Amino acid sequence: MQFDLLIEARWIIPVEPADTVLENHSVAIDKGRIVAILQQSEGKFRFAPRETRQLHDHVLIPGLVNLHTHAAMSLLRGLADDLPLDAWLREHIWPAEAKHVSPQFVHDGTLLACAEMLRGGITCFNDMYFFPQATVKAARELGIRAVVGLIALDFPTAYAADADDYLARGLAVRDEFRDSPLLGFCLAPHAPYTVGDRTFEKVLTLSEQCDIPIHLHLHETRKEIEDSVKLFGVRPIERLRRLGLLGPGLIGVHAVHLEDHEMQLLAQHGCSVVHCPSSNLKLASGIAPIEPMTRRGLNIGLGTDSAASNNRLDILQEMRLASLLAKGSSGRADAVGAHRALRMATLNGARALALDKEIGSIEAGKSADLCAIKINDSLLAPCYDQASLLAYSAGREHVSDVWVAGKACVSNGSLLHCSMIELKNLAALWQNRIRS
């Protein structure tokens, strides 16, 4: 049988079945999809690949899913560090965005972000930002899978005049690119403190009509909750419940400050949560109660947030931090183990985006979104458990190869389809503009 690509890996962690490590197996790929996972000895006799990639010192895993980004904000990395969220946003980030955000800003910042994510093994990102058409353009240039947020706010920006304008512009982008194989869309009302009831009601209607998820910030800070009680008489999750937004299509980002009944409510409605541990810590928002959320069956994925609040787009780092924080805050060393952390970084993120039948695990029939991590570095030795090594020792510098839908985007550690020198020059150009 002839097909496109055979990847022979020393180890494969397919994520599904859970807690599985395959040794000396191959993944057969044709027309961008996984045809089979089989022992290497069998693959050499059964198939006639056009190309064979041998990964003798590697662990092959599903491509990582970054479930929450503002990709274009890579151009604001380090602009106003060491500030709490409210001051950071209102006094620095929002004024900078008001002055500089444009389609070119979004394209260039997203290009920089996509390059960083691919080099760190991220094959899919879920974005929320202005000028989504520019996000689409950058993602397509680098060949990464993107779920593009159709942002909505109740105040004007350079992108749109009001909530209706935001939604109309976003839907126009979705209509233009809805058949693109590597693109998906989310409705992205920014947060309960920037979006009114009328806009939320419209978002819910559009979500049901278009069958696309809703992606928003939720219970990130105590101030957000206190303000909601003052303005609406209830906490944000209860407000969303009364508006009918809680459901399997809701992706709540951060979820740092939750009471027991709120965790139960999110779980009962099949909502997903995005855990952004680095951003939460850096902005002093708090530590999300991941262990009790996990016990209640909540689907939890991992996100980096923006490079302005992290300051890395590095899901391998988020895996390690998520696991350690869950252990430390719960007093249970088994709270989030290595395999669970990897599942949060892959299949759980895919599930939140309703893409779990397409990506998130290495299974026959799924898209070949894959990441290879080279582990023969002496700094990683010895290796007794490959999943533990990925969760606690390896970093994005060990990512060697990345494929999206079977097409190579990173090879032997080098980014394809884009010059790193050009990206550096682009970043320097924007730095000079913004700093001035």
pLDDT digit string, tens, across residues 89-120: 889 999 999 999 999 999 999 999 999 999 99
The tens digit of pLDDT for each residue in 184-236 reads 999 999 999 999 999 999 999 999 999 999 999 999 999 999 999 999 999 99
Task: Give residue 378's pLDDT band: very low, low, confident or very high (50, 70, 90).
Answer: very high
Weakest mean pLDDT among 185-189, 251-255, 431-435: 431-435
> 171 Cβ partners below 8 Å, 6+ apart?
150, 206, 210
Q: How far apart are CA 153 and CA 341, in angstroms?
A: 33
Q: What is the DSSP letter of 162?
A: S
- Give domain limits for the chain: 2-62+367-405, 64-352
Length of the chain: 436
**Per-residue pLDDT at 1:** 73
294-313 pLDDT, tens digit each: 999 999 999 999 999 999 99
| The token pair that represents 319 in the structure block | 């895996």
What would you report as the CA-atom Rg of the chain, rounded to the nearest whole angstrom?
Answer: 21
Please work out, in degrees rounded to the nearest 5, the angle formed at the alpha carbon of residue 400 by the alpha carbons of 278 and 427.
55
Banded model confidence at residue 384, pLDDT cuts 50, 70, 90: very high
pTM to 2 decimals?
0.98
Q: What is the pLDDT of residue 401?
A: 98
| pLDDT higher than 90, residue 42 | no
Would you state the torsion angle of the CA atoms of residues 266, 339, 15, 361, taken in this order, to the nearest 10 degrees? 60
Contact assessment for residue 290 and residue 298, using Cβ atoms and an 8 Å cutoff? no
CA dist., res. 408 & res. 404, Å (int)? 7
Place of tokens 């299509």: 249
CATH of domain 2-62+367-405: 2.30.40.10
Q: What angle do CA 188, 190, 191 make, to 5 degrees?
A: 125
Cross-strand partners of 147: 126, 184
pLDDT averaged over every residue in the chain: 96
Minimum mean pLDDT range among 138-142, 288-292, 303-307, 420-424: 420-424
> In the CATH scheme, what architecture does the domain 64-352 have?
Alpha-Beta Barrel (3.20)
Comparing C-alpha atoms, which of 71, 64, 67, 66 is closest to residue 111? Answer: 71
